[in-house]
Amino acid sequence: MNCTIIIISLIQFFTRQIVKFNKFEQELQVIEQYEKFKDRIEFTIYKYFKDKNFFVTSGIKYGADFLLYKDDPNFIHSEYLVYIKDYKTEFNFKDIINGERISLSHKKKFLVVSVNDDKKVKIFNLEWLNI
């Protein structure tokens, strides 16, 4: 009986150590992913909106990069479609018209966001003007 308890205790001990190791390994993987991603434009923009207290989710459903919510996405609809554009490239009118049409049909605001050389986020809100 004592032998059984000792064996069970050893199994529990090693199982806990394996679980601890797996959690540590997962944390290391998350840190490695963060290190790879933190210098990308997407991360800079994501962090900018998170710091402004927006809930940020993927915008792939609408062909955008991000969706922005002012509150919990489980309770409200998103207000903004975010398209990330390289600061040094010119606007393509087809992309602008497509993004604007999608945002209008889904009652969202269309934001084109870029990051300049100084790592400052620049936001352009594009809307149709009724004349």
**Model confidence pLDDT, tens digit, residues 16-67:** 544 455 555 666 565 566 555 555 778 888 889 999 999 998 888 888 888 9
Secondary structure (3-state) at 39: coil
Residue for token pair 């002012």? 70
CA–CA separation, 53 vs 49, rounded Å? 7
Phi-psi region of 81 (alpha: psi -120 to 50; beta: other; left: phi over 0): beta
53 backbone dihedrals φ, ψ, rounded to 5°: 70, 30
Its CATH architecture, for the domain 41-126, is 3-Layer(aba) Sandwich (3.40)
pTM across the whole model: 0.65
pLDDT digits (tens, 9 = 90+) for 54-94: 999 888 888 888 899 999 888 889 899 998 888 777 777 78
